[in-house]
Amino acid sequence: QVQLEESGGGWVQAGGSLRLSCVASGRTFSSYYMGWFRQVPGKEREFVAGINWGSRTSYADSVKGRFTISRDNGKNTVYLQMNSLKPEDTAVYYCAADTQPPSGYDYWGQGTQVTVSS
């Protein structure tokens, strides 16, 4: 199985920045589609950003211009740089992998909490 480990979450004031990291255990990481999702308790999981093997990216409208997803295949790592954070960005952020794209995300990390104060 592919294991994903997120890190980098924490508490930050509105307007601040955080960078999340996700390390994957897969041997063929470079072929995976990787994504970031977020979820608030009691609400549905929300897509935030995705990146394919060729570094083509996609973003939710709510984070465009503020968040940047990137990957380092040599380190089996995907990043989410979050700038100009808003209180509404507060959520648990999850890393996900689609190991047989475009079938859908089939592996998930444990999540990392991001809290943005007003």
- Are the C-beta atoms of residues 39 and 48 closer than 8 Å to each other? no
pLDDT tens series, the chain, 118 aa: 899 999 999 999 999 999 999 999 978 889 999 999 999 999 999 999 999 988 899 999 999 999 999 999 999 999 999 999 999 999 999 999 999 988 899 999 999 999 999 9
Show the tokens assigned to 17.
């920045």
Which neighbouring-strand residues pair with 21? Answer: 7, 79
pLDDT given for residue 37 in this prediction: 98
pLDDT given for residue 70 in this prediction: 97
pLDDT given for residue 39 in this prediction: 98
